[in-house]
Chain A
């Protein structure tokens, strides 16, 4: 586990990398302060005992919903590509992805 005990210190550069956002030095200072303030506030939840409580992610009790197995018309290729920043031969075109 990373720095679990020191949760007040937020590693903005690490988060920005995970979130694929570019953060300027000025933004970094503000964001650090604001995120720490929020994290400190939400710590009040620790006052509520939840040892034997299960988590809730869905409130109406639906499970394993599926639709009828029939083919429906989807978006046509030209409509799907209409908002693309760049296309090539009927596909979305992206910038080169580099690893490492």
Chain B
């Protein structure tokens, strides 16, 4: 039998409903695992042991007083970790930056509020690249998180703490945020499921902003079904984020096993890069053959060469970063600007450059136009196929220290997700095997608001 901390949301909810386990035991099991392993993994910046156990006891009392079957809160009693760039009322929120090293928010992010309303227990805040600037957690101003599969390697990033915590069973599930790759890439490198919803599907209110036209919060989980459950909790219109859309939110988990018409999956030749790890490529090719056996039709498609997405994404993201980080003045909250780390400074400076007088048209406007080209390209391709499959990352997890020299390391690592992010598309990364004992991730992405479809394809793959 599994240890309690190893359970999925579905398994834990079943155990709780059948009164086989208590919320306290489940929470305690996660906290014990954190105590046992986090000195090595370093996934957490803050662990809320007291608060989590207190809430767990309260929830157990509620369960005793009423029939558990009467409780329809989908995450009731589920211990969840939250990336440290989501504001948590009364709990330190740093975005892994020394600028916010002592910041205790006076309010909850909408994501946190919705998790709590659904009954989740916030067990702690996870490490990340500072301000989400990176793909390894190495730019965290505090420490680097380790990959649970190999402690000499990074977990990916920027949501590396959340992915490592889930992979190491320190929590049942976790929340990450993605600008381009920050959920999917660490999920791939840690062998877990990472879902980046459509831009505007999940509220950014209370999420410490990186690039506001791209940022998308989403779940990192052990199974596709768990990701579907959390998405239903998080998604939907929020008055506090004007970019969220008033579209109906489905019960995504209930949709997973419903039959669909034949799905046509596009495989973009440009996404199998010449310099990518050959064994990673082989794993993806095997996975695509499996998707075909499961009933999907596979079709080769052509997308804009990812090297252009890297360039457009770099300009737009740096510009938005410089604008978003302009608010940190050390007056209302946080410390002074001299506390910014090297990576933040680098990004602010480039963003300032591309937005400055005389350069705006040449860089920023040009990148916005290329963004239109990328969107048009996807619109065209999605007339022929329902969804696209590709590797999430061209490699498996890299060794600690490999990112230091390259000023565009993050962008290069996220080469295969940037175009989709620029177009606001939803995408999921799931494990499709191992190379030298390191996980390989496959991504599936689709037109905006087709989360249901990618979850369904991923679920079919996962259970077969």
Which A residues have a C-beta under 8 Å from some C-beta of B?
Answer: 1-4, 7, 10, 12, 14-16, 18-23, 27, 31, 34-35, 37-39, 41-48, 50, 53-60, 62, 65-68, 75, 79-80, 82-85, 92, 94
Contacts and interface: CB of A to CB of B under 8 A. Distances in A.
A65 B350 contact: no
Nearest to A16: B349
A68 B240 CA distance: 11
Given A12-B349, A56-B371, 7 more contacts: A35-B346, A42-B312, A46-B366, A50-B370, A50-B373, A54-B372, A59-B423
A7 B359 contact: yes
A22 B367 contact: no
Interface of B: 102-104, 106-107, 198-200, 213, 239, 242-243, 245, 307-308, 310-312, 314-315, 322, 326, 330-335, 337-338, 340, 342, 345-346, 348-350, 352-353, 356-359, 362-363, 365-373, 375, 407-408, 422-424, 448
Contact of A31 (B334, B337, B349): B349
Contacts of B314: 38, 41-42
Nearest to B335: A85
A42 to B, nearest CB: 4
A78 to B, nearest CB: 9
Nearest to B310: A41
A73 to B, nearest CB: 11
A36 B373 CA distance: 26
A21 B345 contact: yes
Nearest to B448: A60
A56 B245 contact: no
A55 B365 contact: yes
B338 A83 contact: no
Contacts of A47: 308
Nearest to B344: A21
B340 A21 contact: yes
A4 B358 CA distance: 6
A18 B357 CA distance: 11
Contact of B348 (A12, A21, A44): A21
A59 B419 CA distance: 12
Contacts of A92: 331-332
A27 B340 CA distance: 13
B196 to A, nearest CB: 13
A31 B431 CA distance: 37
B358 A53 contact: no
A94 to B, nearest CB: 5
A71 to B, nearest CB: 13
A95 B407 CA distance: 34
Contact of A42 (B213, B334, B363, B422): B363
B107 A75 contact: yes
B370 A45 contact: yes
Nearest to A20: B337
A52 to B, nearest CB: 9
Contacts of B407: 34-35, 37-38
Given A15-B353, A34-B407, A62 B362 contact: no
Contacts of B368: 55-57
Leading 10 A-B pairs by shortest Cβ distance: A55-B368, A83-B333, A59-B424, A34-B407, A2-B358, A50-B369, A79-B106, A65-B242, A42-B311, A56-B371
Contacts of B346: 31, 34-35
Interface centre among A16, A45, A57, A84 (most CB of B within 10 A): A45
A58 B333 contact: no
A10 B353 contact: yes
A35 B350 contact: yes
Contact of B366 (A35, A37, A50): A50
A45 B357 CA distance: 20
Nearest to B352: A19
Nearest to A72: B239
Contacts of A75: 106-107
A34 to B, nearest CB: 4
A68 B242 CA distance: 12
